[in-house]
Structures are given as structure tokens and as C-alpha cells.
Amino acid sequence: MKKLTTLVFILLGFLISTCGSGDQITINTEITGSWRLIESYVDPGDGSGTFSTSDKGKTIEFKDNLTVNSNGNLCSMFESELVPSSGTYTLSDSTLTSPNCDYSVHFQLSNNNLIVWYPCFEGCAEKYIKTN
């Protein structure tokens, strides 16, 4: 019985020492950092759309605190000039949300690229490459 009591106290001490208020939420480091737009995709409605080179200069930065900043519009890829915007992102459902948007925008990591999917009747997206 004395050995069992000792074992219980040892296990209890171990459990208490491994849990603490300093525990951090792990952020996907693949997504954090700066991304530069390299290609845009707009499908004409028949499924034949492909990504084509873009020289807009748009960038997106994902931060560790789940915020996102861009030198362009996070809500749309159809803009004539770059207007800075910001918002938050959620890893559990891969979405970007901005106070300027009426909807969430979905993103995915694919072959070392970030692809941001916008809500269009036919598919439309932007492809980014990580710069740092």
C-alpha cells in the first residue's frame, strides 16, 4: 500500500509539472511569414481555367498571433489598385476574415504555394510564393 501511495504521488507530481499556464498554442509555421502573388486563376465557366502569371505586386503576411496583413484587398482579387487591408485567419477551417468582407475567404497550402480561393460563380484564386 505504501508503494502504491508513493507511485500515485510521483505520477501526480509528473502530471502537474507537465501542465502549466505557460503552455503555448502551436501555430503552423508553414503559413506564417510573407507571401508574394505570382499567379491568378479565373475560370471562364467551363472548367478550362488555368493559373496565369500576375505582376500586381500583391503581398500577404500571416503572423503568429493569427492576424493577416496585405498591401491589397483580402476580400477580392479584382482590384484596379492595391489598397491595404488586414484581418485574421483560422487554421482549423483555413479561412481569412476581414472586417471589410461580407464572407470568409478560403486558403490552402499546396506544393510550397499558398492558394487563396475567392467566392466566384466560376472558380477564381490567387497563388502566392513564400518570400521569408
Q: How far apart are CA 97 and CA 74, in angstroms?
A: 8
- Mean pLDDT by groups of 10 residues along the chain of 132 residues: 44 41 58 98 92 96 98 91 95 95 95 95 95 90
Report the domain count for the chain: 1
Domain coverage including residue 116: 33-130
* pLDDT for the residue 16: 39
* pLDDT for the residue 27: 56
The verdict on residue 18 lying in a domain is no
The verdict on residue 82 lying in a domain is yes
Closest CA to 130 of 51, 29, 12, 8: 29
* pLDDT for the residue 52: 97
- On whether the pTM is more than 0.75, the answer is yes
* pLDDT for the residue 80: 77
The verdict on residue 78 lying in a domain is yes
The verdict on residue 42 lying in a domain is yes
The verdict on residue 27 lying in a domain is no
